[in-house]
Structure 1
Amino acid sequence: LYRQMTRELAKASPKARARRLTVGTRTIDELLRRYGRSSSPGVQKVVTYLQNGSPWWLTFLKHRGMDATNNRGERGLREAIVIRKIVGTLRNWNGAEAFARMLSVLGTWKLHGENPSTKLYAVLS
């Protein structure tokens, strides 16, 4: 299903994306119908996982430019996690809040192709 939904997605027209969304939604619904009453705990765990995320599984088909996976988001968090581990931990809520805001601003500048050092210097000058 993943390959079918993401194949040449960047080139897909809005109409093709809508068709993929319909097919994907029907496929997930069919899987839930078929396996929803399974007595296997493993299958039930997967069914619950699919049900809980069903409104969001195919969001990338609704919004052009959105990734089908969360890899980009996780890559964006890596730097913050490394810093947190080096520092040890952020000792209080105010420090954690300030750190999160600072990383958000710096990350946004990076995404927009700006040089964070130059932008920070300009803002603080």
Structure 2
Amino acid sequence: MLVKDELLIGGKGVSAGYFNNAEQTDQKFEKIDGEVFYHTGDIVEKQDSLLVYRDRKDSQVQIHGIRVELGDIRANISNIIDDPTRDIEVVFLLISHKLLLKVLYHLIYQPFRGFR
């Protein structure tokens, strides 16, 4: 089901909520016509009979079942590199149903010196 371009998942395999976490349950689960739906956070678009992934509502990704904030990865890499002259960006790519994290960093304070 789509609600405001967000993919919601319902059916027999969807739980009633998070165990001992009413606040998270209220944020991610919704009852629609008596059936429980989970808000995935995935922004999708319907094209003909297909759902096409477009974006995320947040910067959270899931890797092997573990939820990860891309901002946390960025902060940890910044601590490891410990170089204020570098700007670090963390992006994710969906390729062949596999989530790949690619860490990109580049120098932003050093002028281009041309080709030698």
User: Which of structures 1 and 2 has the bigger CA Rg?
Assistant: 1
* Higher relative contact order (CA closer than 8 Å, sequence separation 6+): 1
Q: Please identify which structure carries the higher strand content.
A: 2
Write 1 or 2 for the structure with the bigger share of helix.
Answer: 1
TM-score normalised by length of structure 1 = 0.28
Q: TM-score, normalised by structure 2?
A: 0.29
